[in-house]
Structure 1
Amino acid sequence: MDFISHTVEGSTDVQLLREHLINAKNLAEDYGTDIDIPKVTGLAALLHDLGKYRVAFQEYIQNGVGHHGSVDHSSFGAYFIHQFINEHSQAESEKDRLYLTWFGEIIENAIMSHHNSLGLKDFVDAHVNSPFLKRLNKVEEDPELKDELQRVIQRFFQEVMGEKEISDYFDQAYKEFSLLIDKCFSQDKRTLLSNLFFIETYVYSCVLDADRTDTATFSLDQPVKRYDYSAVFEDYYQKLNRQLAGMNSEKEINQLRSAMSDECDDFAEKRDGIYQLSIPTGGGKTLAGMRYGLKRSILSHKKHIFGVLPFITIIEQNARVYRETFNGDPLDNQNILEFHSNVAQELRSNKEKDDLLDLAEDSWNSPITVTTMVQFLNCIFASGTTNRRRFHNLCNSVIILDEVQKVPVKCLSLFNKAIN
């Protein structure tokens, strides 16, 4: 029997479940390298659709038995991890027992919530209940589900990854997680709880993006969009320098702009950190800030540059400047994503570009993204899978926050915590 993950409406094409799980694992591993936990994110993605090995799901997807969402497939991977930790992991120290608990809960929640419209499940809600534990314990209270879980796991072992192989993979993932938590402890124990939140959000984001990206590329019959970020940033950096060199240096204002831009270029050689750039209106802040971003990205191998602004009118203006400077055309959006509620429709000239632009908007994987403060905060804190899918791409990036004083006061504490 062929176990199917996805079909295409109006077509006989199918994606086998084994292929989808392996593809998602590989994508999530790639995403997870940004904070050195590729096996953690890979493990969560590998098991996210384990429940599609249920007979009921196969009857639904192959024969149309039932309706969309009627078969729970997103919980079984979480049940598997929970059972695996209980049966296979030998935690000798109190530290290991604590780390294993956190490790399991983070992966389990990412898996069981990957179709949850509200996002990750609360470990403790306002009524002092635990939606997370309620979902996780569901299988413990149902003997039939327990038996079915074992059958599902055996199909996974036969088709995707053997028991010894998954055990080794689990050990590698846990080692990565332990090193990351040790690092968090060594920096400041007081921030551990918020760091765990961001680690969980990161793993969740990687699973969401890996799942959605592989599904979309199968449905659209297109390969995963790969960027050579270093080459793009080097090309844009050279173009910007050539443009600046061609400015009329006889004008005093241009001399001042050039001097401030050169300072930004020099400053890019400093280590990563949080810095403030103060340039008066008319001083060329848009391109000076981008010059810093491009050079810093080249020197420290960043994958993305984000320009975050408070007002749509400024975003439209800045994005137009970037497109004209780097692509030679104010409407050429190659490598540059302008993301807000009023994105100009003239950027979408045909169906193929629509599809590619939709993928870029969903994942924020473009080398340069220009967006609003609202959208930036949404991808960190807002509910829903669409927002959180983008979160992991904020890591290993240069983030240029223009008019940062415009952050709403009620959001300031969360904003500072995220940036720090």
Structure 2
Amino acid sequence: MSETLRPIAHAAQNPDGSWRDPHDLANHLAGVAALAACHARKFGAEDWAHLAGLWHDLGKYRPAFQSYIRNASGYEKENAHIESAGRVDHSTAGAVHAVDELGEGAGRLLAYLIAGHHAGLPDWNGDNASLFQRLEDARKKGFLKESLGQQPPEAILRGQRPSSRLKGGTADLHLWLRMLFSSLVDADFLDTENYMNSGKADARAAYPNIDNLLARFRAHMERLAAAAIPTAVNRIRADVLHQCIERAVEERGNGLYSLTVPTGGGKTLSALAFALHHAKEHKKRRVIYAIPYLSIIEQTADVFRGIFGEDVVEHHSNLDPDKESARSRLASENWDAPLIVTTNVQLFESLFAARTSRCRKLHNLVDSVVILDEAQLLPPEFLEPCLASIRTLSKYYGITFVLCTATQPAFQPREINGQFFAGLPDVRELMQGGSHVQDANNLYQGLDRVKVHWPDTSVTTTWDELAERVTCHDQTLAIVNRKTHARELAKRLPDSLYLSTDLCGAHRAARIEEIRIRLEANRERAKAGLPVCPLRVVSTQLIEAGVDVDFPVVFRALAGLDSIAQAAGRCNREGQLMRGEDEVKGAVHVFVPPEPAPSSLLLKGENATKELLSLDPNPALTPKLFEHYFRLWFASINSMDKEGILNLLMPGKGMEISFRTAAEKFHLIPDDGAPVIVRWGEAEKWLNKLKADGPDRWLMRKLQRYSVNVHRNCLDRLIAQHDVEEVLPGLYAQANDLLYDETFGFLGCAGNVAVAPGNYVF
């Protein structure tokens, strides 16, 4: 074959329009193999990854592909190597070759990776996209024969048979394959990017290492300590921090830990302290901080950014593009940075994903510290697959997990309703005592800043009665279970501030900031001996977990015990209530609303709390009480793997695995709505730009902050009424000016939508 017709993998133009030298196919295969092996070496599977890299694009030797890639339309497209409708299949030939070379066992394992390296991991059985059908079709059409006819180098075709063993048992095979898949697809992306856009590759600038981050963290904490007011709460926070640092050095290099600290006890920075010191001591490569709630992820990221600047990488859908740099945007693709702030949805859905973009980052989880903030909010109906992944990653992939919460869930292995619950064995609590705080139980006594007033659960409180009680206090937070309830109460408190997911993200952030400013102003007035200005807030539970506000009085609708404890964390958070020289506890009033919680999980939580109160009408919020509550709650869950994810991923005798079906079913948030862009703030400006210039990644990120999620049945009605318009396929915008209210936000579905179990983002 002449030099001008040598097999190529990619072709691209220079900025001046001239064609650069094509990307040699053999060099691409060797480069991907070397980089994939480097990725997989971290978990002892470099030999498998090397073969996958050598064979992943073997189908590009086919004359049909070489003709296609040389076509002018192919040369003009930066992503010409990606398969899509009308393009030449170049991945299945390598999958066939893997089976021919290694047999039906090992060969099929590699075939999943190779056949899926663009389209995503397939199911073995099913439609035309199944691995079985693709292998059969490729054999009939002679894809591999066509490739071999172009005489690829023997060094490509005859790789050494892999000898390393999979991590874990048969049930863990799917995760091992995803780790290999991640190693392959990230290597393919990076090698291709290096050819296609060397400037983009150069932008993946090196991040500082863990030692550097730890030094900056220590300096920041020293400044905080020097400026801290010497209160009892701050002394306990300092003790928690010191104990986390001590345990980070003492404990072994991977495993499962819990950090049980009452709300307001400094968990966020103490967990980060443990993670950074643990990473340095045990040579971990990065820290991943996973958060369940939209309302706190930006708050946490801002705290970290105040310490580490642009070296914090946020990866979630609600990220403001103004906080995103070219470097952090690239790092979010594969988590190649030392500190990642992300969501539970992003983390766990990636662990069960089939798509290349979702799986690409997974190999960078190896040898890391993962902090699961508010661990009790792992979705119970997907709890078994989530915990199974945690067990496997901690045991075989060098990952330290920290379950961080004030209300530690009962994840111990045991029998639940006649079925064995594998849970999380051997979780070690960091607050066990030492030279500082003694244990978690003592912490709850030391940080007891509130008096919880429990209700007679047989007596309901009307909204009028509640409004009257709320107005007896100048600064009050009232938390309810439904958006309809929040509106009912807020209407009776005309000067109150309202919070729910009916407000778009930018509006919520602005309102929470207003609340903080007014609380701080009132603290200054109180210090000066002046009367405080009334501030009454009505919210759904989105304010509970981690939002840093501090009220002297909180009212909480009866709910799960964990929700009540989180609500209590918004009361006297800093322990600064005083009467004369005596400290005064904040007041948390639990009441029974006119309607119970929405059905399903919230109602199960409410019923479990009622059962506890029937045993003790005035319980103290302690770790023992939370364990009792979660045991009752878990016993009420119909299934902790409602979609049968683990069965779908259990391989058959012929390595049959349903990757794609499992990924389609593993959604922590029900996919029953669509975002609607509302007309608030700068949304109009960005919508006009979208209509004028079309979609762009940064612009879509901007608009995400001005959207609310609307249930499908409500959306269909609003579209039919011309209150909402479709501005792009699947993207909708408010068309009726009356649809969004400055006080209550989106009004289009008022009265029809209950509060979702979690204000998750993806």
Structures share fold, TM-score greater than 0.5: yes
Give the superposition deviation at 1:218.
2.4
* Residue aligning to 2:121: 120
Determine the C-alpha separation between the residues in 1 that align with 2:195 and 2:44: 28
**Relative to structure 1, is the Cα distance of residues 148 and 244 closer, same or farther in structure 2, using a 3 angstrom cutoff?**
same
After TM superposition, list the pairs within 5 Å mapping 1:148-159 onto structure 2: 148-152=146-150, 154-157=151-154
**Secondary structure in 2 matching 1:370:** strand
* Residue aligning to 1:375: 346
Q: Match for 1:389 among 360, 367, 383?
A: 360
* Residue aligning to 2:301: 319
Letter in 2 for 1:150: L
**Secondary structure in 2 matching 1:275:** strand
Contact 1:227-1:367 within 8 A present in 2 as well: no
* Residue aligning to 1:305: 287
What CA deviation, in whole Å up to 9, does each residue of 1:124-172 have, x standing for no partner? 45x9x99222212234334x445314314x2233xxx266xx34xx23x
* Residue aligning to 1:73: 90
After TM superposition, list the pairs within 5 Å mapping 1:74-113 onto structure 2: 74-86=91-103, 101-113=104-116
- Larger RCO: Structure 1 or Structure 2 (Cα < 8 Å, ≥ 6 residues apart)? 1
Contact 1:107-1:203 within 8 A present in 2 as well: no
Give the superposition deviation at 1:285.
1.4
Q: Match for 2:316 among 340, 349, 356?
A: 340
Determine the C-alpha separation between the residues in 2 that align with 1:242 and 1:104: 52
* Residue aligning to 2:132: 133
Contact 1:213-1:359 within 8 A present in 2 as well: no
Give the superposition deviation at 1:260.
0.5
After TM superposition, list the pairs within 5 Å mapping 1:257-268 onto structure 2: 257-268=237-248
**Relative to structure 1, is the Cα distance of residues 209 and 146 closer, same or farther in structure 2, using a 3 angstrom cutoff?**
closer
* Residue aligning to 1:30: 38
The reply to whether residue 236 of structure 1 matches residue 213 of structure 2 is: yes
Give the superposition deviation at 1:44.
0.6
Q: Can you give the 5+ residue segments of structure 2 that lack an aligned partner in the other structure?
A: 75-79, 392-762
* Residue aligning to 1:59: 67
Q: Which of the two has greater helix per residue?
A: 1
**Relative to structure 1, is the Cα distance of residues 243 and 254 closer, same or farther in structure 2, using a 3 angstrom cutoff?**
farther
What is the number of equivalent residue pairs in this alignment?
A: 368
Give the superposition deviation at 1:57.
0.8
**Relative to structure 1, is the Cα distance of residues 396 and 11 closer, same or farther in structure 2, using a 3 angstrom cutoff?**
farther
Give the superposition deviation at 1:228.
6.8
Determine the C-alpha separation between the residues in 2 that align with 1:344 and 1:11: 37
* Residue aligning to 1:175: 163
Q: Match for 1:43 among 33, 51, 68?
A: 51
Determine the C-alpha separation between the residues in 1 that align with 2:129 and 2:172: 20
* Residue aligning to 1:96: none
Give the superposition deviation at 1:48.
0.8
- Based on CA coordinates, which of the two structures has the bigger radius of gyration? 2
Q: Match for 1:6 among 3, 10, 14?
A: 10
* Residue aligning to 1:292: 274
TM-score by length of structure 2 reads: 0.46
Determine the C-alpha separation between the residues in 1 that align with 2:123 and 2:255: 32
Give the superposition deviation at 1:226.
7.0
Contact 1:305-1:398 within 8 A present in 2 as well: yes
**Secondary structure in 1 matching 2:369:** strand
Give the superposition deviation at 1:64.
4.0
Contact 1:306-1:399 within 8 A present in 2 as well: yes
Determine the C-alpha separation between the residues in 2 that align with 1:162 and 1:381: 31
Determine the C-alpha separation between the residues in 2 that align with 1:16 and 1:386: 25
Aligned-residue CA RMSD (Å): 2.5
Q: Can you give the 5+ residue segments of structure 1 that lack an aligned partner in the other structure?
A: 87-100, 185-191, 328-332
Q: Which of the two has greater strand per residue?
A: 2
Contact 2:313-2:340 within 8 A present in 1 as well: yes
The reply to whether residue 408 of structure 1 matches residue 379 of structure 2 is: yes
Give the superposition deviation at 1:61.
0.9
